[in-house]
Amino acid sequence: MAVVVVESPAKAKTINKYLGSDYTVLASYGHVRDLPPKDGSVDTEDGFGMTWEVAADSRKHVRAIAEALKSDDTLILATDPDREGEAISWHLKEALASSLKKGKTVRRVTFNAITKAAVTEAMAKPRDVDMELVEAYLARRALDYLVGFNLSPVLWRKLPGAKSAGRVQSVCLRLIVERELEIEAFRAREYWSVKALLKTPRGQEYEARLTVLGGKKLDKYDIANATAAEIAVQAVTSRTLAVKRVEAKPAARNPYPPFMTSTLQQEASRKYGMGAKATMSAAQRLYEAGHITYMRTDGIDMAPEAVMAARDEIRRRFGADYVPDSPRMYKNKAKNAQEAHECIRPTDMGASPEKLRLEDDQKKLYDLIWKRTIASQMAAARMERTTVDVGSADSEVELRATGQVVMFDGFLKVYDEGRDDEEGDDSARLPQIMEGEPAEKRAITPEQHFTQAPPRYTEATLVKRMEELGIGRPSTYASIVTTIQDRDYVRKDKGRLIPEDKGRLVTAFLTNFFRRYVEYDFTADLENELDEISAGERNYKEVLARFWRDFTAAIAETSELRIGEVLEKIDDFLAPHLYPARADGGDPRLCPTCGKGRLNLKTARSGGAFIGCSNYPECRYTRPISAPNGEEAAVDGKVLGQDDQGNDITVRAGRFGPYVQRGEATEAQPKPDRASLPKGWGADTLSLDRALALLSLPRAIGPHPEDGALVEAGIGRFGPYVKHNATYANIPDVEEVFTIGMNRAVEVLAQKAARGSRSGTAPAALRELGAHPDGGPIQMMAGRYGPYVKWEKVNATLPKEADPATVTLEEALVLIAEKAAKGGKKPARKAAAKAKPAPKAKTTKTGAATPKGKAGAAKAAAG
């Protein structure tokens, strides 16, 4: 018997049906090893040796495979047929090295579809693990690690609030930010067109647009305003019109090629609004169930037997007229021949969507794939396109009508591709129009237009643009687009990708200080070098050495940068967005509160950035950096009404969001009453009563029945609460702050006291932030003097402006490092290890004998 290993249980289940009892089919559950997320995992001083660690979740799966190999002599690695699949096979072989001694055999098989024929054929043609593909994977993984673990700490130190930077994700983010800057810099241009509703002598109406005026062919912007449009209307109205030319031309539309990864993601986004991640998840399940071929591919060619099966299905369903005389063969020049597998197609052309029982998202995707594949082998659609020119006898005005008639629908009977943006439509059918006949004017209408800003990217158009630029590959598109959203650099609104403030700041920083590494050509060239490694044309360590030499030099150049210098550069880079031109022509940087200071970019230690006045602390004006075009800008300074003393109650835009304020700052009261709006309260819908209720907090509930001390309700940094003496107890709903009575307040306080008595003396953590790169958990704690982060013996107090609920692991690492440096409290890890030994994950070094660890500074997410 032989042990066959695949990635997933679903794939294992399908394959097991085809192989039978002579094989033991097990799942590795994806990658079994990865680089430990700490400094030194890639040893840049010793030939880029890589230290691998078997993931905790994977140990039991590796043990299960090793156990099976005790009674079986052959290991067959049947992971996916791409670079990632080859890497998983290599990792398995390495992790199982101790079980593969004494003459055991290791073979590698690949198949593009999980069907009985494909699996049986693959088993008959085993090979060795392709080390060129593996080396391309090693290079990619090392590059991502080196960028993440060296560039991210620079971001944390120089740009507070930034989370991380990745090799490809940062370039993708730049695309989105630059598109947003284009949109903000765009100024609409007015232009007009003139349309006429005309009538034939037989009483049939048709529409035509003005194309010639004053004997001159019109360009798009020639009719620039309403006055010019009215002159054009008069010119048409005052003349008799007749048909000058009627021209009918045959046309054909050929079908689209079958799907590859990028086009599948684009079409699923257009037609169903599915994100790249959701699309690939559904495709993965279809593949593992044996319904479609492998879904990560740059190729559009189709196996000859699949082409013939599609032609047979077309003939059976639609008749011989829909089958072209010869098969359609599609070829593209893939960026990487190793990922240019066959197109994404059904494994059985006769399995139409209605025949399969699938979950909703899989059914939608399979319907797309089946229709696109069948359509790709169908006959072309035949049309007749008609152009009619109508003009005056003096040739001063001329109008054109266009129409299209489908003579034979061909592939359109099954499928037509969606569009990213609306385009002009000339598909209207024209009535019978004869050359020389009069054209009666029914209505002449001027229409005003404005040029449109370039549209924001959708996931579909972003993947398309990345593909055009050569950034990323089929196996990475979905993860790149998902990562920038998960890190709050980009948000998705109605399907469109919009950069957040943090995303703008990161892009501005990298563009100014690491420009080469976010250039599109540089990233595409590096992707091509990785492809050349997989083709055996380059040495992967030479590629790494050249990259590392230049990259470390760029890192070193930023070591002396001060945060003030960084902010000044970013302020200039983002100036068109931060300080848009004012309608009155005034200085957009002049502080609207004091009228003296100048606005500039500032950052908060808790993360994010805001615009503040240079006249601080005399002037405390602040607003978010996104306010110029957002809701908060519209309400900033809006007067809701007056309180009983006649003070204006206003809603303002602050660095942490909208807030309400009573009156203005004066010498006698430099800090007027303020209250932040709770989450879910809209600044644009806030009423005076609600604002006054916020400003009145904390609200007195009454004396406690046991000791007479005042019980209050309010909203604090941890949310709504009730307070008695020094005891704070959270309540779940903000609205309850304004209505809670004594009985309920006493109940909540008693529950808090009961929890405290059960917890003993050890304080409970508010949040678990994650693991420190050197080991041990990092926790958010509630302390006597405010919240703090704790790691081993290091306690780092949070800055006043920081919100404990949103502090990230990366921000906590910076606070801990600063505290340890100041107080010298960093724990002695080696001594602790001797005192209390703990089980250690198995690590393996690749490409070098011993680790020396010079690859980074702190934990970062690799891009």
Backbone angles phi and psi of 717, in degrees to 5: -65, -20
Residue (of 37, 45, 38, 150) closest to 850 by Cα position:
45
DSSP assignment, residue 293? B
Q: What is the DSSP string of 710-765?
A: EEEEEEETTEEEEEETTEEEE-S-GGGGGT--HHHHHHHHHHHHHHHHHT-SSPPP
**Annotated catalytic residue, options 23, 137, 287, 294:** 294
What lies within 8 Å, CB to CB, of 104 at 6+ separation is 69, 73, 74, 75
Placement of tokens 């990922």 in the chain:
339
Q: What angle do CA 479, 483, 488 make, to 5 degrees?
A: 160
Using DSSP, state whether 257 is helix, strand or coil.
coil
Contact between 275 and 405 (Cβ < 8 Å):
no
Cα(764)–Cα(355) distance, rounded to whole angstroms? 55
Instruction: Look at the alpha carbons of 68, 72, 75, 78 in this order and tell me if their dihedral is positive or negative.
Output: negative
User: Which element (helix H / strand E) includes 64?
Assistant: helix 59-69
Listed in order, strand segments (DSSP E) in 457-606 are 490-493, 496-499, 599-603
Cα(625)–Cα(657) distance, rounded to whole angstroms? 10
Cα(802)–Cα(604) distance, rounded to whole angstroms? 8
Contact between 344 and 264 (Cβ < 8 Å):
yes
Would you give the distance in Å from CA 449 to the centre of its chain?
Answer: 33
Backbone angles phi and psi of 428, in degrees to 5: -65, 145
Strands 490-493 and 496-499: antiparallel
Half-sphere exposure of 734 (CA within 13 A, CB side): 15
Cα(702)–Cα(776) distance, rounded to whole angstroms? 45
Residue 294 annotated in active site:
yes
Residue (of 655, 661, 687, 657) closest to 675 by Cα position:
661
Contact between 264 and 283 (Cβ < 8 Å):
yes
Q: Is 744 exposed, middle or buried (0-12, 13-18, 19+ CB in 10 A)?
A: middle
Cα(637)–Cα(645) distance, rounded to whole angstroms? 19
Cα(622)–Cα(184) distance, rounded to whole angstroms? 22
Placement of tokens 């001797």 in the chain:
834
Placement of tokens 């550069």 in the chain:
569
Q: Which amino acid, one-letter code, is at 310?
A: A
Q: Which amino acid, one-letter code, is at 426?
A: D
Q: What angle do CA 269, 274, 279 make, to 5 degrees?
A: 100
Q: Which amino acid, one-letter code, is at 304?
A: P
Q: Is 66 exposed, middle or buried (0-12, 13-18, 19+ CB in 10 A)?
A: middle
Contact between 255 and 375 (Cβ < 8 Å):
yes
398 pairs with which residues across the strands?
212, 391
Q: Which amino acid, one-letter code, is at 429?
A: R
Tokens at 54, concatenated:
């078997």
**Catalytic residue positions?**
294
